[in-house]
Amino acid sequence: MKTIKRIGILTAGGDSPGLNAAIRAVGKTAIRDFGWDVIGFRDGYLGLAENRFVTFDKATLAGILTIGGTVLGTSRDKPHRMTIKGKECDMTDVIAANYRKNKLDALVCIGGGGTHKNALRLIEKGLRVVTLPKTIDNDVPFTDSTIGFDTALSIATEAIDRLHSTAHSHHRIIIAEVMGHNAGWLALGAGIAGGADAILIPEVPYDVRKVAAAILLRSERGNNFSIVAVAEGAKSVSDSALFDAALKKKKAAKTKEQKDVAKQELAALEGKHVGNTMRLAKELEQLTKLEARVSILGYVQRGGTPSCADRLLATRLGSACAHLLAQGAESVMVAARGDGYTTVPIEKVAGTLKLVPSNHTWIASARGVGTCLGD
């Protein structure tokens, strides 16, 4: 086993509360416990390709625990498909060369689904990589939770709490759009915690008539307002069927032409789905004859000071990451498991999403208190 002397850190994908806590934990543990040199690459994999980095020490890692975002910056650039001087280039060989040029013994990548797929590409180039799971969507598999989820959940819940006041005052339907393109953890959790009357998530295709019926039943019982929490990726039964058919067509495609056609069909469906929450509001108005208003939480869910739970999670996993590297770990994600941690092969994580199962306890709890899920 090669002795580690120098490691690199990067944050990739969407920004998330707790990233700085994770950078701090990896860096401080590496420096204090093992005496390693630590550098951080700017703007995710792009900074690694362009060899832009900063050197960390105890002083530069101090004071960042409670700061939102990431001091390193981030991007969604993919190593094998980067736009350099207006052209799409495969930069994996350049990244591998920079890894060796900087005499790195390991690279720590902090990110979500895309980050893990890209980490796997670098592993195939001979780099020693360990990852940490980060995303407000909580859709990275094989970990109890992801860095950033708890903060985003708290922000979304507080927003729904506040929307209750105006909904009650004006006797309206208030629809709160929460982030979550493929996975409904954030909308489901915030909807339950915020007492939403209906929760719509990507995993459960909805029938707008059933949502309207639930709202009208509330009105008949004397409740003059309703709160609907909807994930941005939630789809009606008919739209979900169209997406499923397009995805099957893409998976079955064998030639480049077939794959291109399938991608175009999916892109067209995605484009049509933009603004779906506004359309949902109009449909509910027509069906219930009640006034509906939409509040799109958007990027506010990513911002601000990370919660104590996210700081604790990031510190636990970050410190464990350094110790695992010292023990020879490579090609694994450090996952939260109970009060401890475990390792999961990155190959197993990449390309997989943790979706809300139909039999999950949160689903059962929502139904138990009478929340409409639109099905």
Query: Active-site positions?
Result: 137
CATH number at residue 201: 3.40.50.460
Residues 6+ apart with CB under 8 A from 287: 208, 209, 212
Q: What is the pLDDT of residues 327-371, one digit of tens each?
A: 999 999 999 999 999 999 999 999 999 999 999 999 999 999 999
Do the domain assignments include residue 367? Answer: no
Same domain membership, residue 39 and residue 143: yes
Same domain for 192 and 261?
Answer: yes
**Helices (H) then strands (E): counts for the chain:** 14, 13
CA distance 138 to 145: 6
What CATH number should be reported for the domain holding residue 17?
A: 3.40.50.450
Does a structural domain hold residue 48? Answer: yes
Has residue 358 been placed in a domain? no
Say if residue 137 is in the same domain as residue 271. no
Mean pLDDT across the stretch 40-56? 97
pLDDT per position as a tens digit, 219-231: 999 888 899 999 9
**What pLDDT is attached to residue 1?**
62
What is residue 258's predicted lDDT score, i.e. its pLDDT? 83
Q: How many structural domains comprise the chain? A: 2
Mind listing the pLDDT tens digit for each residue in 229-280? 999 999 999 999 888 888 888 888 888 888 888 888 888 988 888 899 999 9
- Does residue 101 share a domain with residue 200? no
- pLDDT > 90: what percent of the chain? 81
- One domain for residues 97 and 186: no
Range list of H helices, the chain: 19-34, 45-50, 58-61, 92-101, 113-123, 149-170, 185-193, 208-220, 237-252, 256-273, 276-288, 308-326, 346-349, 361-368
pTM for the structure as a whole? 0.94
**41 and 135, same domain (yes or no):** yes
Query: Pairing between strand 37-41 and 53-56?
Result: antiparallel
Residue 270: both structure tokens together? 């995605």
What is the domain extent for residue 191? Answer: 152-302
Is 361 a member of any domain? Answer: no
Q: pLDDT confidence of 28, banded at 50, 70, 90? A: very high
Domain annotation covers residue 94: yes
Alpha carbon separation from 114 to 22, 129, 346 (Å, rounded): 18, 15, 12
Q: Which of 265, 284, 302 is the last residue of a domain?
A: 302
Residue 1 lies in a domain: no
Cα–Cα distances in Å, from 227 out to 70, 212, 274?
A: 33, 12, 21
Is the same domain home to 227 and 287? yes
Task: Verify that 196 and 243 share a domain, yes or no.
Answer: yes
